[in-house]
Amino acid sequence: MINVLIVGASGYVGAELTKYLFFHKKVNIVALFVSKNSQDAGKKISDVHKQFKNIIELTLQPICDNMLHIINKIDAVFLATDHIVSHTLAPIFLLKGIIVFDLSGAFRINNHNIYKKYYHFEHKHISWLQKSVYGLPEWNNRHIRGAQLIAIPGCYATAVQLGLKPIVKYKLIDTKQIPIINATSGVSGIGRKSTLTTNVCEVSLHPYNIFTHRHQPEIVAHLGIPVIFTPHLGNFSRGILATITCQLKLGIVLQDITNAYYIAYNNKPLIRTYKSGIPSLKSVLNLPFCDIGFVVKKQHIIIVVTEDNLLKGAATQAIQCFNIRFNFPETQSLIK
């Protein structure tokens, strides 16, 4: 059994991590932690997330000195926390030899200068930043297997990269024409601490953080080409739908595209590609899959990608990385 700790367990992603890890046959959850100022500290997780009543009755403990005692009992930790919190906590666990799965943006990009511009803080753990492994399982499986610090990709970055990487890898697109990405997320991506502007009753459909979203440099860094990325907030609770428009190189035909996606994903159990038609949100909600479809017309391709932002965009992707890291079946506890 692998003993694990979840920090930030009361949030939407933390709750999903707790659920999937609780039913993982090779995992023992040692403790659940929240920030010491959290209004959920001291409550059972079933009091905060009623779906767990009579199923998961673990207490949400506040981060304190007692956590240092628990550290000696664990093999792995999941940080479902803000990037500032992860930046502080991750090195503490790493120095104890614990495997860290960080779901924040604190260690996703090796270039520390990005953090000043997009995250508005100075990164103080450059050596760990250089050692971190980007946790996109379908494309980084081998490196995940030997990593101590695994940075789980952002929800938008996951969808966009899974949609684009096959045709980028096989050099099918004309990179002189920058891919245009429009992606819409449900309000759960902002977290449980809602404000008036993020309340479902107030949200219609609008773009935000144009040219400044933190997933933009993440996408570019790991995709290797520039993109124009515009995120949108929709008035629904969960899920992401991304529409990606690219120009193909001269001579590229539909079969070339089909072959690229088949080679990339035919043996990847959590990627579902469409031979015809395009995916919709309802096909992936509350599921650990990423669905990909595309339409080609002359020199243009439009790719449509859907995922549950809390699952394939966060929690289940982290557990997928966990399974790979500890040599368990990749979909253990994710697919029944």
Q: Are 142 and 20 contained in the same domain? A: yes
Residue 249: Cβ within 10 Å count: 14
Q: Are 217 and 234 contained in the same domain? A: yes
Angstrom distances, CA of residue 231 to CA of 72, 129, 203, 210: 41, 26, 14, 7
The answer to whether residue 332 sits within a structural domain is no
Q: Are 144 and 20 contained in the same domain? A: yes
CA distance 310 to 191: 10
Q: Categorize the per-residue pLDDT at 177 as very low, low, confident or very high, splitting at 50, 70 and 90.
A: very high
258, two tokens: 């089909």
Lookup result for tokens 């995709």: 223
Q: Categorize the per-residue pLDDT at 205 as very low, low, confident or very high, splitting at 50, 70 and 90.
A: confident
Angstrom distances, CA of residue 160 to CA of 52, 239, 264: 32, 14, 15
The single-letter DSSP state of residue 118 is: I
The answer to whether residue 334 sits within a structural domain is no
Residues in the chain, overall count: 336
CA distance 241 to 306: 5
CA distance 73 to 96: 11
Q: What is the pTM of this model?
A: 0.95
Instruction: For residue 47, give the H/E element and its range.
Output: helix 45-48
CA distance 198 to 35: 22
pLDDT tens for each residue of 87-119: 999 999 999 999 999 999 999 999 999 999 999
Whether residue 133 is predicted with pLDDT greater than 70 in this model: the reply is yes
The answer to whether residue 112 sits within a structural domain is yes
The answer to whether residue 13 sits within a structural domain is yes
**Torsion angle in degrees (nearest 10) through CA of 161, 166, 169, 175:** -70
Whether residue 182 is predicted with pLDDT greater than 80 in this model: the reply is yes
Whether residue 199 is predicted with pLDDT greater than 70 in this model: the reply is no
Q: Considering its fold, how many domains does the chain have in total? A: 2
Bridge partners, 180 (sequence order): 228, 245
For residue 190, give the CATH number of its domain.
3.30.360.10
Q: Are 6 and 80 in contact (CB under 8 A)?
A: yes
pLDDT of residue 64: 77
End-to-end Cα separation, the chain, in angstroms? 20
Query: Is 201 an annotated catalytic residue?
Result: no
Whether residue 190 is predicted with pLDDT greater than 80 in this model: the reply is no
Q: Are 127 and 213 contained in the same domain? A: no
For residue 44, give the CATH number of its domain.
3.40.50.720
Q: Are 203 and 86 contained in the same domain? A: no
The answer to whether residue 273 sits within a structural domain is yes
Q: Are 223 and 319 contained in the same domain? A: no
Q: Are 221 and 136 contained in the same domain? A: no
Q: Are 108 and 145 contained in the same domain? A: yes
Q: Are 168 and 109 contained in the same domain? A: no
> β-strand 228-234 against 180-185: which pairing, if any?
parallel
> β-strand 180-185 against 240-247: which pairing, if any?
antiparallel
Catalytic pick among 155, 246, 290, 321? 155
Q: Are 81 and 207 contained in the same domain? A: no
Residue 215: domain span:
155-307
The answer to whether residue 335 sits within a structural domain is no
The answer to whether residue 331 sits within a structural domain is no
The answer to whether residue 165 sits within a structural domain is yes
Q: Are 306 and 290 in contact (CB under 8 A)?
A: yes
Whether residue 198 is predicted with pLDDT greater than 70 in this model: the reply is no
Q: Are 6 and 147 contained in the same domain? A: yes
Judged by average pLDDT, the poorest of 49-63, 150-164, 197-211, 286-300 is 197-211
The single-letter DSSP state of residue 301 is: E
Q: Categorize the per-residue pLDDT at 219 as very low, low, confident or very high, splitting at 50, 70 and 90.
A: very high
Q: Categorize the per-residue pLDDT at 187 as very low, low, confident or very high, splitting at 50, 70 and 90.
A: confident
Q: Are 238 and 320 contained in the same domain? A: no
